[in-house]
Amino acid sequence: MNESTNRIRSLSIWKGDVELEPLSGGITNVNYLVSDGAERYVVRLGDDIGEHQIMRFNELAASKAAHAAGISPRVIHDEAGILVLQYISSMALNAEQVRSEKYLQRIVCLVKKCHLEIPQYLRGPALIFWVFHVLRDYGWTLRSGESPYVAKLPELITAADSLEKASGPYDIVFGHNDLLAANILDDGKRLWLVDWDYAGFNSPLFDLGGLASNNEFDEGQEKWLLETYFEMPISDDLWHRYQAMKCASLLRETMWSMVSEIHSKIDFDYASYTGENLARFEQTYNDFTNS
């Protein structure tokens, strides 16, 4: 047994003998499925991650508020470096499912509930997730870490600055800010939204752009997404601001992976992930600047 599993076993909350099973798929945290003979739980291990601006007090507050809003599992226990959550017997979605008629309307309702209802339950200090600050900070982190992408940073930061100008003016909601398909769960009756590491107040266009870019929406699906979310026809201005924020979302995923290449200890092929996202960003940004 390693130090992490020993620490999980030592928690005072268990009702019986503890069985642990590593959960695969996480590329930020180490997660376990834990049974104590009475119930099952998800245990997330992780301290603050300064290079990604992850602060666990914020994740905890967002998780509790999201549960109160009815869209995320209940927090069972928390202490430094450990978060124990209610286990939901469910299926994590994939990108194809997110795009499908079966799910997309329900996902829009879930995202809108996150944006508008979580602030009613959020307690304590709250963060803003400003993607353009994150991108500039990633630039400094990559320079100081002597990343192999240092030569490309001036081009990327210039793009970030131009996207910041193009994506305003801004409305502010409470964003999840990491709408990968695997963070949306279906228990057969309802959808759940999990993993609140990057939660914070933000433009709704960031989550909408991230949902579309992470799950490879086509243009028709993107326009439907905006019309459904905002409950009105799309103006040229909204479409332009949305496209800018979608580019920013792709750039954030790209630079997130660049930083993870030099800092993360999780066994994951970040270099390939960087390459895939960089190619998608460059194509999308080129389309945006030439539109």
Element (H, E) at 238: helix 236-263
With a cut of 70, which residues of the chain have pLDDT below it?
1
Domain 91-289: assigned CATH number: 3.90.1200.10
The span from the CA of 131 to the CA of 267, in Å, is 26
Whether pTM exceeds 0.75: yes
Cβ atoms of 40 and 18 closer than 8 Å: no
Show me where the domains of the chain are located: 3-86, 91-289
Same fold, 3-86 and 91-289: no
The span from the CA of 182 to the CA of 61, in Å, is 21
Tens of pLDDT, residue by residue over 227-265, are: 999 999 999 999 999 999 999 999 999 999 999 999 998
The span from the CA of 273 to the CA of 286, in Å, is 20
Determine the pLDDT at residue 184.
Answer: 98
CATH classification number, 3-86, choose in 3.40.50.300, 3.30.300.20, 3.30.200.20, 3.40.50.12710: 3.30.200.20
| Helix, strand, or coil (residue 24) | coil
Tens of pLDDT, residue by residue over 131-170, are: 999 999 999 999 999 999 999 999 999 999 999 999 999 9
Count the alpha carbons within 13 Å of 161 in the hemisphere toward its beta carbon: 8
